[in-house]
Amino acid sequence: MLLPVTCPCLPLRPLKRLRDLSLLIAMLWLTGCAGTPEMHTSDMAGPISEQQDLSIERVLVMNYARDALGTPYQYGGTTPSGMDCSGLTQASFLAAGIDIPRTSQQQFDGLDRIDRARPGDLMFFGSGGSVSHVGIYMGNNQMIHAPGSGRQVTLAGLDNRYWRSHYRGAAAPAP
C-alpha cells in the first residue's frame, strides 16, 4: 500500500507568493537606503590660488588632479599615460608628499572619515558595504575622477542622483 507523500516544497499559493515577494523587495529597498550616508561639502570662495585656508598639500593635490584631466583611463594605472580612479588619487596625494593606500576600498578602509568634504578631500562611492570608486573633491559640488574604461579623467558634478545614492563617505588625508 502506498502512503500519501507530503512535500514541504510544494508551490505556495499565488497570492501568498506575491505578498512574500513584495515584502522581500521592500526589505531589500529599505536596507539599501539605510546604508547611504548623506553627502555634505564645505566650499571656499574664489579660485584655488586665492583660498587662504587651504594647506599647501591640498593645493598640490588639487593641482595634480587638474593637470590629469584628459588622461585616459587605464585599469591599475597610476601615471600620466593612463590611470584608474584610485591611481589618480594616489598619484595626486603623492605629489603632495602624502602616501595613501592603492585601491579605493583600501583607501576607504585605511583613512579616517570626515563628516564634510572640503576641497582636496577624497570622496568614496559604491554599493552595499563595498567601495568601488573614489574621486577628489574640488569645491563647488564637483570632483575630479577617472570614470572608467574608454573614458578620460574628468570633472563631474555631484548633484547627479547616481553620486548621491552611491556615496559612502569622505576622508581628508591632507592637513
pLDDT in tens, 70-86: 999 999 999 999 999 99
Q: pLDDT-derived band of residue 36, with 50, 70 and 90 as boundaries?
A: confident
Domain count, the chain: 1
Query: What's the CA gap between 169 and 4, in Å, rounded?
Result: 58
Q: What would the grid cell of residue 122 be?
A: 577624497
Phi first, then psi: give them for residue 122, nearest 5 degrees: -90, 145
Confidence category of residue 31, pLDDT binned at 50, 70, 90:
very low
Does residue 119 sit within a domain? yes
pLDDT score, position 150: 97
Q: Does a structural domain hold residue 66? A: yes
For residue 128, the SS3 value is coil
pLDDT in tens, 126-153: 998 899 999 999 999 999 999 999 999 9
Question: What CATH code is carried by the domain that includes residue 72?
Answer: 3.90.1720.10
Residue 18 domain-assigned (yes or no): no
- The answer to whether residue 106 sits within a structural domain is yes
Residues marked active site are found at 85, 133, 145
SS3 content of the chain, % helix, strand, coil (to 5): 35, 25, 45
| pTM, full prediction | 0.76
Q: Quick one: pLDDT band at residue 33, thresholds 50, 70, 90?
A: very low
Q: How confident is the model at residue 64 (pLDDT cuts 50, 70, 90)?
A: very high
Q: For residue 156, is it within any domain?
A: yes
Average pLDDT of the residues in 2-30:
54
Per-residue pLDDT, 35: 63
Q: What is the pLDDT of residue 28?
A: 45
Averaged pLDDT for residues 86-105:
98
Report yes or no on 4 lying in a domain.
no
CA distances from 172 to 18, 106, 123 (A): 47, 14, 9
* The pLDDT of residue 42: 80
Domain coverage including residue 94: 53-171
